[in-house]
Structure 1
Amino acid sequence: MTQKPPIGRDTRLCMSLSARPGNYGSRFHNRLYELTGLDYVYKSFSTTDLPAAIGGIRALGVRGCAISMPFKEAVISLIDDLAPSAAAIDSVNTIVNDDGRLTGHNTDYGAVRTLIADIDPATPFVLRGSGGMAKAVAAAFRDAGFAHGTIVARNEEAGRGLAALYGFAWRGEAEGAAPILVNVTPLGMTGADAERLAFPAAMIERAAIAFDVVQYPPETPFLRATRAAGARVITGTEVATLQALEQFVLYTGVRPTDAQVDEAAAFARG
């Protein structure tokens, strides 16, 4: 393992912006910097002034920034370019700074495509959520061949818009049954929503696959309930690892080995 240089004036900074910052991304990226010997450091931040934060990225030469809820759509007007991965779904989860020019990417989409690749696309699903991450997930399902999907969102305008964009149905409330349940909301996340189930118990008991994009805690009430009912679960940590790996490559130009990624992911979970 190449020795990582001590932090100094040449160290490159990467960061994240989120309403509720967690530790997974910081631990994952910083561990990979150590394993690959790269002179980088990664720090998570929150903000109530998104334009100022993006201006700081540009002015201070921050190399890259991960974008999480609720900024994935709002950030688009503040940057210079969109890579195809972000332009296709109007949602940004990654900013790369090339000499002051900020380009938005979306690595969530590819992560979701990878995680659902072995599921029969004829299987119906219900997706709860209508924000930027929901766009990435819905697009991934559509592009993987899933045609029988329902978007659940209380915001009728946003929910109907997302459903129409990808050819799915819309409902205001979660009801009925579907083999695949997907949560793309903060329900189950730490804070006020920590104990809330993303779907009614009756739907959970009949599901075969539960997919929750909430990263922390790794086991949300929704996932615990579906696992107890015998369903397969796909966790937000799995999404976080795959999308963060692609961010790492965008920021550094280096693709770590599978063993390094596994070690960094285990370190981040610990």
Structure 2
Amino acid sequence: MRDRFLTGLIGYPIAHSAAPAMHEQAAAALGVRCHYQLIEVKGAGHDDLRAMVDGIRRLGFAGVNVTFPYKEAVVDLLDDLAPDARAIGAVNTIVVDGARLVGHNTDATGFARAIEPLLASAPRGPIALIGSGGVGKAIAFALAILGVGELRIFDSDGAKVARLAGQLADRHAARGVASVEAALDGATGVVNATPVGMLPNRDSPVPDSLLHPSMWVADAVYTPLWTPLLLAAKAKRAKVLTGRDLAIYAAADAFELFTSMMPSTDVMANAFDAVMAARYSRPA
């Protein structure tokens, strides 16, 4: 069994990522070594991504994670896709399997684990999803797997929304809507799957006036942990879910794919919390 692993993350911006701490400390708790390399590249085109992916294959990586804005762009550069990634059309985890690169999507499994307790305690009803990019697709499929009712999807790119709704047509009542207001009209919950609110951006994808105490609000962004959207939802006394649990569970599922070992989510959570504590303070 291997006792050393080289892994990493491709994306931009990623200097803030808690992933190195989570993966490296999870490995140490299992008695193995892991180096998690941040591969931060702005504006990478198809040829740039191909060069990076080929480098992963050649340089001894066990695999890498992929984040914004490359989760969809890497799909056609891989040798194979796991069924989840193939259905979603986005990859956040690439595993090196011999000479082959296989794409997976642990955003979907991670979000399902994160949101399930909140869904279990919330009334059933329409859910608004803001964003239909790589993480938005994964979240949409996770919600479909969990059997939620109507899913309303809004994105400034209407063609992407239509494609995603079409992908879900045989398993979920999903439809695109023309505005955030239409998405949230009567919704029991809303998920932000866009980078809006990620530092240095301090905007919110949802006007404060649309938030109310009887809904829940989740954000996939975790830098900062308390985004403008979640601060506004908290002020309205809505139930909230930060990006913390999604980040931890998605990382744990990726670690298992890279190493064939099951990490401690408690160790990963402690590592994540330490990184966040060093950067941000949580409101009372």
TM-score w.r.t. the length of structure 1 is 0.89
1:13-38 Cα deviation digits (max 9, x unpaired): 10001121032111111121222221
Change (3 A) 1:99 1:164: closer
**Contact 1:124/1:148, CA 8 A, preserved across alignment:** yes
Q: Which runs of 5+ in 2 are unaligned?
A: 278-284
Match of 2:281 in 1: none
Say which of 127, 148, 151 aligns to 2:150. 148
- C-alpha separation in 1, matches of 2:266 and 2:156: 42
- C-alpha separation in 1, matches of 2:275 and 2:84: 26
**Contact 2:191/2:218, CA 8 A, preserved across alignment:** yes
- C-alpha separation in 2, matches of 1:131 and 1:114: 20
Q: Shift of residue 225 of structure 1?
A: 0.6
Verify: 1:88 aligned to 2:91, yes or no.
Answer: no
Regions of 4+ moved over 6 Å:
none
Verify: 1:210 aligned to 2:217, yes or no.
Answer: yes
Match of 2:29 in 1: 35
Q: Shift of residue 142 of structure 1?
A: 1.4
Identity, in percent, stands at: 33
- C-alpha separation in 2, matches of 1:99 and 1:124: 44
Verify: 1:44 aligned to 2:53, yes or no.
Answer: no
- C-alpha separation in 2, matches of 1:215 and 1:43: 19
The equivalences for 1:1-270 within 5 A come to: 11-21=4-14, 22-47=16-41, 48=44, 49-118=48-117, 119=119, 122-166=124-168, 167-176=173-182, 177=185, 178-191=187-200, 194-205=201-212, 208-270=215-277
Change (3 A) 1:90 1:34: same
- C-alpha separation in 1, matches of 2:260 and 2:190: 36
**Contact 2:249/2:265, CA 8 A, preserved across alignment:** no
- C-alpha separation in 2, matches of 1:52 and 1:65: 14
**Contact 2:213/2:239, CA 8 A, preserved across alignment:** no
1:68-125 Cα deviation digits (max 9, x unpaired): 1111111111111111221121211101112221111111111121223231573211
Change (3 A) 1:222 1:84: same
Letter in 2 for 1:144: L
1:222-267 Cα deviation digits (max 9, x unpaired): 0111011111111112100000011111111221335433433333
- Please say which of residues 102-111 and 257-266 is displaced more in the overlay: 257-266
Letter in 1 for 2:124: A
Letter in 1 for 2:12: A
1:40-66 Cα deviation digits (max 9, x unpaired): 211212222211111110111211100
CA RMSD for the aligned pairs? Answer: 1.8
- C-alpha separation in 2, matches of 1:39 and 1:195: 37
Q: Which runs of 5+ in 1 are unaligned?
A: 1-9
Letter in 1 for 2:188: P
Change (3 A) 1:222 1:214: same
Letter in 2 for 1:26: P
**Contact 2:131/2:193, CA 8 A, preserved across alignment:** yes
Letter in 1 for 2:138: A
- C-alpha separation in 2, matches of 1:146 and 1:222: 22
TM-score w.r.t. the length of structure 2 is 0.85
- C-alpha separation in 1, matches of 2:258 and 2:149: 35
